[in-house]
Amino acid sequence: MEDQVTFMPRIGEKAPEFTAVTTQGTINFPKDYEGKWVIFFSHPADFTPVCTSEFMTFANMEKQFNEANCELVGLSVDGLYSHIAWLRTIKEKIEYKGMKDIEVTFPLIEDISMEVSKRYGMIQPGESSTQAVRAVFFIDPKGIIRTILYYPLSIGRNFQEIYRALIALQTADAFQVACPADWQPGDDVIVPTAGSCGVAKERMEDAETLDCKDWFFCTKKLDKQKVLDTVLKK
């Protein structure tokens, strides 16, 4: 019997569609989230410590993500009643890094059949054939996958980086720029590479608005408040 080949979705492609039962009711994905950014992420299993720390962190940051026009959607291959029991345990019993009484209100998808997780390449047989790895998909308001992050079962995600990447994607879209390594709102941004010799020459001579180290490497100031006013809801 030949192994079934599942192609992972790629950056720039439409997010695969599905309908699923969640802790917040049935969702049609990504149709229900048109006009919003979505962080769609998987976790290996309920009632596991690393996953618990991640869900508490995501829930604690949910308002911050929502203010950036972003919704959170989680998934694991456990069943709905397991999800509900686990989330109740988190709220009633677990304290982590000063966080306690944390209520998870974003949807957590039931995926016992692994249909959705396989469609998104969340099942990595070399890691586990029965648990999803820690995948993160950034999906834009048009339903396009813009960034993909994968972590193994043993390592929790960096949630500040997830938030930073979301704001950087929105900034790049809004201002038609690129964001350099370790970029944070208020840092200089990169101007797209010149497409002609004439433009390259003009940029090198434009010392007032651009800082060009060479024709291909030009940065400019972008005020932090302008970034925040653009990407965060008021």
Residues labelled as active-site residues: 51
Whether 134 has a binding-site annotation, put simply, is yes
Question: Strand 18-22 relative to strand 99-100: parallel, antiparallel, unpaired?
Answer: unpaired
Exposure b/e, 125-161, CB count within 10 A at least 16 = b: eeeeeebbbbbbbbbbbebebbbebbbebeeebebee
The DSSP result for 1-24, as a single string, is -PPPP-PPP-TTSBPPPEEEEEBT
- Structure token digits, residue 170: 């929105």
3-state secondary structure of 175: helix
Annotated binding site for substrate: 134
Annotated binding site: 134
